[in-house]
C-alpha cells in the first residue's frame, strides 16, 4: 500500500512538476509554508507560475492537491485556522459565522461554474463598504467587462460577492478545486453579515442571503447557479453491493403497468436528487393504493355477507354491509397506505429489512430525519406495518407540503440539497422495498 505522500505524488502531472530550486520564496513566505504544514498541509513542490503545491488527505480518504500563489501564502497561513467547513454546504464559514464562502454549481453538467460566471456582465451599484473587490477583466471579441459582483444591502448590514475563490478556502474546504484547465478560474459566493448575536444566527443569516441572491439570479437573468450540499448526494437504492458473479436472466414473468415501470425507472435515475427518488417510489405505492383498498373493501363485504347471522331481510344485517362500503369509500391516503403495507408487505421480510444495525440506528428516534415517526421492531403498541406506513406517509408530507400550511406546521418541509435530504438513503430503500412488495402482491 502506498504512503499518503506516494498517493499524493500520483496526482502530480509529470509535465507540471518542478524542483524546489525553480522558485525562490521570501523568508515570510517560507514561514507561511511552515505554518500551513503544521496545520496538516503537505508541501509537495512548486509550479511554473511561482506558487507552492500542497497536498492533503481529506476525511473521505482521497487525496487533494492544489496550488497557491506565492503572494497568497501569508494570507492563507494566517487565516486557515480561523475558518471551518460549512455544516450543510460545501464552503467555509468564520468561527463567529459573520463570513461564509460557498462553492457554487451550474445547472449544465457540461459547463463548469467558473466558465458560466464569466459569461455574465453584471450591472450593479458600486458598494460603499470597506471590502476590497478586484474583479477579473473579461475580453471577448469586441466586448470588455469585469466578471462577478460585490453588492451591499440597503440597510448596510450585509455584503455579497461573486468572485475568484479565496486562498484560504483552498485550505478550509476539503472539496476545493484540484486540477483545472489553465484558463479556468473557480468562483465562489461570499457573504458578510453584521454580527447579530450567536454564531448559529449569523451562519443562518448568511446562508439565507446566499439562497436569496441565487434565486434572484435565476428568476431575473436565468443564471442557474446553486450551492453544493455537503456529504454524498448520490443515493444507492440497492441493499447489497452488486456481485461480480454471473447474473441469472429469464424471460420476464412479472406484469408491470407502464406507469409503474416508468416511475420505478425514474427513481433509479434520480440518484442525485434523493427526495425525487423517494417520491417516485411513493408514487408506485399510490398507484396500488386504490387497488389494494378496493380489494380490502370487497373482502370485508364478503365477510359480512358470508356471516352465518347475515339475513338479507334484516335491516341491521344490510346496514352492516353498507357501513363497510362507506368506510371503504372514506378511507384517507394514510389509511390506504397502512392497508397496503399490511396486506402486501410480507411480515418476515419487513422485519428483516430493519435488522442491520445501521438500519435500526437510522430509523430510531436519534436518526438523522426529524419530524417523522421512528420505527421500533420491538414495539407492542403498534404493528411494524403500521409504524412503517406512518413514517413513509409523514416523510412524503415533509417533502411535498409547504412550511406555512397549518396542517403541517409541526413538520417543516424537507428541502432538496439539505443534510436531511442527503440522509434519505435508507428511507428510499424502504420505499423501494414496499413498492416491489406491492408489485409482487398484485400479480394476477
Rg (CA), the chain: 29
Residue 75 near residue 28 (C-beta atoms within 8 A): no
Residue with more model confidence, 139 or 384: 384
How far is the C-alpha of 240 from the C-alpha of 170, rounded, in Å? 36
Name the more confident of 263 and 176. Answer: 263
Per-residue pLDDT tens digits for 18-72: 444 455 788 888 888 888 788 777 787 776 556 777 776 544 444 556 667 777 7
Whole-number pLDDT of residue 235: 59
Which of 32-36, 148-152, 351-355 bottoms out in mean pLDDT, i.e. has the lowest?
32-36
Report residue 79's pLDDT band, with 50, 70 and 90 as the boundaries. Answer: confident
Split at pLDDT 50, 70, 90, the class of 9 is very low
Q: Where is pLDDT greater, at 363 or 24?
A: 363
Q: What is the mean pLDDT of residues 312-328?
A: 77
pLDDT bucket at 13, cuts 50 / 70 / 90: very low
Which three cell numbers mark 440? 409482487
Q: Above pLDDT 90, what percent of the chain?
A: 23
Tens digits of residue pLDDT in 157-192: 899 999 988 877 866 665 444 434 445 678 899 999
Please tell me the number of Cα atoms within 13 Å of 46 on its side-chain side: 16
Q: What is the pLDDT of residue 188?
A: 92
pLDDT given for residue 403 in this prediction: 56
Looking at residue 143, what is its pLDDT? 79
How much is the pLDDT for 217?
84
Q: What per-residue confidence (pLDDT) applies to 178?
A: 41
Judge contact between 164 and 132, C-beta under 8 A: no
Q: Which of 373, 381, 377, 379 is nearest to 427 (CA)?
A: 373
Q: How confident is the model at residue 285 (pLDDT cuts 50, 70, 90)?
A: very high
Predicted confidence (pLDDT) at residue 1 exceeds the cutoff of 60: no
DSSP-derived secondary structure letter, 18:
B
Residues 317/270, Cβ–Cβ less than 8 Å: no
pLDDT tier at 234 (50, 70, 90 boundaries)? low
Q: Report which of residues 102 and 137 the model is more confident about.
A: 102
Decide if pLDDT at 297 tops 60.
yes
- In the prediction, which pLDDT does 422 show? 85
Instruction: Quickly tell me which residue has 435508507 as its cell.
Output: 426
pLDDT of residue 68: 74
Please give the model's pTM, rounded to 2 decimal places.
0.61
Q: Residue 35 has what pLDDT? A: 83
Q: Which pLDDT score is estimated for 116?
A: 84
Higher pLDDT, 245 or 43: 43
The Cα–Cα gap between 249 and 235 comes to: 25
Q: What is the pLDDT of residue 180?
A: 43
In the predicted model, is pLDDT for residue 244 greater than 70?
no
- What is the average pLDDT score of the chain? 78
- Determine the pLDDT at residue 62: 44
The 3-state secondary structure of the chain reads: CCCHHHHHHCCCCCCCCECHHHCCCCHHHHHHHHHHHHCCCEEEEECCCCCEEEEEECCCCCEEEEEECHHHHHHHHHHHHHEEECCCECEEEECCCCEEEEEEEECCCCCCHHHHHCCCCCCCCCCCCCCCCCCCEEEECCEEEECCEEEECCCCCEEEEEEECCHHHHHHCCCCCCCCCCCCCCEEEEEEECCCCCHHHHHHHHHHHHHHHHHHHHHHHCCCEEECECCCCCCCCCCCCCCCCCCCCCCCCCCCCHHHHHHHHHHHHCCCCHHHHHHHHHHHHHHHHHHHHHHHHHHHHHHHHHCCCCCCCCHHHHHHHHHHHHHHHCCCHHHHHHHHHHHHCCHHHHHHHCCCHHHHHHCCCCCCCCCCCCCCCCCCCCCHHHHHHHHHHHHHHHHHCCCCCHHHCCCCCCCCCCCCHHHCHHHHHHHHHHHHHHHHHCCC
Quick one: average pLDDT of 409-418? 76
pLDDT, position 225: 86
Residue 389 has pLDDT above 90, yes or no: yes
| More confident position, 81 or 160 | 160
Model confidence at 5, in pLDDT bands (50, 70, 90)?
very low
With contact defined as beta carbons under 8 Å apart, do 186 and 164 qualify?
yes
Least confident of 4-13, 27-36, 248-257: 4-13
Q: What is the pLDDT of residue 229?
A: 76
Q: How far apart are CA 289 and CA 362, in angstroms?
A: 26
Amino acid at each position: 500500500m502506498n504512503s499518503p505522500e506516494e498517493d499524493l505524488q500520483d496526482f502530480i502531472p509529470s509535465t507540471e512538476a518542478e524542483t524546489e530550486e525553480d522558485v525562490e520564496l521570501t523568508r515570510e513566505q517560507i514561514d507561511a509554508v511552515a505554518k500551513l504544514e503544521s496545520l496538516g498541509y503537505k508541501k509537495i513542490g512548486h509550479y511554473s507560475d511561482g506558487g507552492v503545491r500542497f497536498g492533503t488527505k481529506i476525511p473521505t480518504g482521497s487525496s487533494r492537491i492544489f496550488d497557491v500563489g506565492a503572494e497568497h501564502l501569508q494570507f492563507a497561513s494566517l487565516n486557515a485556522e480561523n475558518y471551518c467547513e460549512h455544516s450543510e454546504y460545501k464552503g467555509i464559514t468564520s468561527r463567529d459565522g459573520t463570513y461564509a464562502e460557498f462553492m457554487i454549481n451550474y445547472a449544465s453538467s457540461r459547463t463548469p461554474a467558473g466558465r458560466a460566471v464569466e459569461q455574465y456582465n453584471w450591472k450593479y451599484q458600486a458598494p460603499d463598504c470597506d471590502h476590497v473587490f478586484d474583479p477579473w477583466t473579461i475580453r471577448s471579441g469586441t466586448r470588455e467587462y469585469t466578471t462577478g459582483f460585490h453588492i451591499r444591502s440597503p440597510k448596510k448590514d450585509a455584503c455579497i460577492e461573486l468572485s475568484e475563490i479565496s486562498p484560504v478556502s483552498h485550505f478550509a474546504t476539503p472539496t476545493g478545486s484540484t486540477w483545472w484547465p489553465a484558463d479556468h478560474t473557480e468562483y465562489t459566493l461570499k457573504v458578510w453579515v453584521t454580527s447579530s448575536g450567536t454564531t448559529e444566527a449569523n451562519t443562518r443569516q448568511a446562508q439565507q442571503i446566499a439562497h436569496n441572491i441565487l434565486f434572484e439570479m435565476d428568476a431575473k437573468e436565468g443564471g442557474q447557479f446553486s450551492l453544493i450540499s455537503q456529504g454524498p448526494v448520490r443515493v444507492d437504492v440497492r441493499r447489497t453491493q452488486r456481485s461480480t458473479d454471473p447474473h441469472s436472466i429469464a424471460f420476464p414473468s412479472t406484469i408491470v403497468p407502464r406507469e409503474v415501470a416508468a416511475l420505478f425507472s425514474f427513481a433509479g435515475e434520480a440518484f442525485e436528487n434523493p427526495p425525487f427518488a423517494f417520491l417516485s417510489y411513493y408514487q408506485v405505492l399510490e398507484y396500488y393504493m386504490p387497488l389494494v383498498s378496493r380489494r380490502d373493501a370487497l373482502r370485508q363485504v364478503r365477510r359480512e355477507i358470508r356471516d352465518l347471522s347475515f339475513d338479507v331481510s334484516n335491516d341491521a344485517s344490510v346496514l352492516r354491509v353498507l357501513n363497510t362500503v362507506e368506510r371503504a369509500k372514506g378511507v384517507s391516503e394514510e389509511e390506504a397506505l397502512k392497508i397496503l403495507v399490511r396486506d402486501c408487505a410480507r411480515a418476515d421480510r419487513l422485519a428483516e429489512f430493519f435488522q442491520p444495525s445501521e438500519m435500526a440506528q437510522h430509523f430510531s428516534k436519534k436518526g438523522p430525519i426529524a419530524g417523522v415517526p421512528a420505527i421500533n421492531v420491538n414495539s407492542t403498541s403498534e404493528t411494524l406495518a403500521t409504524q412503517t406506513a406512518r413514517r413513509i406517509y409523514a416523510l412524503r408530507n415533509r417533502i411535498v407540503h409547504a412550511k406555512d400550511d397549518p396542517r403541517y406546521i409541526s413538520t417543516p418541509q424537507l428541502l432538496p440539497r439539505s443534510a436531511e435530504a442527503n440522509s434519505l438513503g435508507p428511507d428510499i430503500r424502504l420505499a423501494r422495498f414496499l413498492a416491489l412488495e406491492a408489485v409482487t402482491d398484485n400479480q394476477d
